[in-house]
Amino acid sequence: MNGYRDLRVALLGCGSVGAQTARLILEHGEELASRIGARLTLAGIAVRDVHAQRDVELPQELFTTDAERLVQGADIVIELMGGIEPARSLILQALQGGADVVTANKALIAAHGRELADAAEQVGAQLSYEAAVAAAIPILRPLRESLAGDHITRVLGIVNGSTNYILDRMDRFGDSAEDAMRVASELGYLEADPTLDVEGYDAAQKATILASIAFHTEVPVDAVHREGISGITLTQIEAAKHAGYVIKLLAIAERITSSDGVAGISARVYPALIRRDHPLAAVYGGKNAVFVEAEAAGELMFYGAGAGGAETASAVLGDLVSAARRHVVGG
Ligand code: HSE
């Protein structure tokens, strides 16, 4: 370990993802240091209540209520508070101070991604948010980097874990929507405001982020057509089943082409009937799956955990390591 440079990591927020992120940083510290060539030092965790119950036991001295102070002097800031403010202001403060920023905040990126990316670009900092879409599944980096030379025509899939869990319980076990939602909450899948999941806002935010990266353009979240699952009944699910379908909440973003070229983009979220022999029908529980169609690559499928504390923290750590490597000369 001796000889490694210390990188100060400030963590903002300690909900289920934040607690798991802190745990992974602390538990994987030595292994990460040798992998990166720098030591990640968790400088502190900013929270509203330093004495609140956490998912993971963490050293009490790490907690502070002074997020602004914690951000000052940090090399890398991880924002896992959620919501727009104060997350946006703290990220801007971090970027303006030259820190790299990692966030899982889909609402913020969907609404203010351009502003934050511009702030990062101005100072040469890195802003990354792989965990904002489909939790553990690497999807944004493949879209941005692996497929950078291709021409993506469509991104389609299940990008909300909690509604997929609820629909799946109703379909396979005949659970009521209320019962399924209670368990989804216990599993840590739901947003603090579950309306965001159930009414499709969360999926629309993710569709915006996917479309913006896939199509190299800004897709305003308020322009995404959105229908949630609150109106779906067990009777509808049974009827779909008898006809050979399963109901899934889909997010779709595609290029609309006319004879004279690309006419625009369609981005929409709504419950759809999926044939039971289609791979999307076998996306159970809190899993997500995203299909990407590109001119040269053809059809690609990305599958895995779409929600959950440790699963989302895995993607956060990936971005953290990527940011840390930038600080290592020759890394
Ligand atoms: N509430 C979100 C979901 C969490 O259910 O997918 C992961 O973004």
Q: Which atom of ligand 1 is nearest to the CA of 190?
A: 1
Closest residue (by CA) to atom 7 of ligand 1? 307
Q: Which atom of ligand 1 is nearest to the CA of 106?
A: 8
Residue 126 has pLDDT above 70, yes or no: yes
Q: Is 241 a catalytic residue?
A: no
Mean pLDDT of 321-328: 96
The CA-atom distances, in angstroms, between 135 and each of 5, 42, 69, 204 are 30, 22, 29, 15
Residue 262 has pLDDT above 80, yes or no: no
Residue 2 has pLDDT above 60, yes or no: no
Mutate to test the pocket of ligand 1, among 103, 109, 158, 202 (most ligand atoms within 8 A of CB): 202
Instruction: Enumerate residues 6+ apart whose C-beta is below 8 A from 260.
Output: none
pLDDT at 1: 47
Q: What does the pLDDT look like over 153-179, one tens digit per residue?
A: 999 999 999 999 999 999 999 999 999
Mean pLDDT of 92-115: 98
pLDDT at 93: 98
Q: Which residues line ligand 1 (CB under 6 A)?
A: 135, 160-162, 189-191, 197, 202, 306-307
Distance 248 CA to ligand 1 centre (A): 15
Q: Cα 168–172–178 angle (5° rounding)?
A: 60
Provide the token pair at 314. Answer: 């895995």
Q: What does the pLDDT look like over 76-101, one tens digit per residue?
A: 999 999 999 999 999 999 999 999 99
pLDDT at 120: 98
Ordered DSSP codes for 225-280: EE--STT--HHHHHHHHHTTEEEEEEEEEEEEEETTEEEEEEEEEEEEEEETTSGG
pTM given for the model: 0.96
Question: Do strands 225-226 and 261-275 pair parallel, antiparallel, or not at all (unpaired)?
Answer: parallel
Average pLDDT, the chain: 96
pLDDT at 263: 85
Q: What does the pLDDT look like over 9-64, one tens digit per residue?
A: 999 999 999 999 999 999 999 999 999 999 999 999 999 999 999 989 999 999 99
Distance 163 CA to ligand 1 centre (A): 8
Q: Give how far the C-alpha of residue 83 lies from the chain's centroid of Cα atoms, to the nearest Å.
A: 13
Residue 331 has pLDDT above 70, yes or no: no
* Residue 17 phi, psi (nearest 5): -75, -40
Give the span between the Cα atoms of 253 and 213, in whole angstroms: 11
Provide the token pair at 274. Answer: 């999926």
* Residue 95 phi, psi (nearest 5): -65, -45
Percent residues over pLDDT 90 in the chain: 95
Percent residues over pLDDT 70 in the chain: 99
Distance 94 CA to ligand 1 centre (A): 26
pLDDT at 3: 77
Residue 259 has pLDDT above 90, yes or no: no
pLDDT at 12: 98
The helix or strand, by DSSP H or E, that contains position 44, with its residue range, turns out to be strand 38-46
Residue 330 has pLDDT above 70, yes or no: no
Q: What does the pLDDT look like over 219-249, one tens digit per residue?
A: 999 999 999 999 999 999 999 999 999 999 9
Residues 11, 47 contacting (CB under 8 angstroms):
no
Instruction: Enumerate residues 6+ apart whose C-beta is below 8 A from 231.
Output: none
Q: 81-107 burial, b for 16+ CB within 10 Å, e for fewer? A: bbeeeebbebbbbbbeeebbbbbbbbb
- At 173, the amino acid letter reads F
pLDDT at 280: 98
pLDDT at 260: 85
Q: What does the pLDDT look like over 191-211, one tens digit per residue?
A: 999 999 999 999 999 999 999
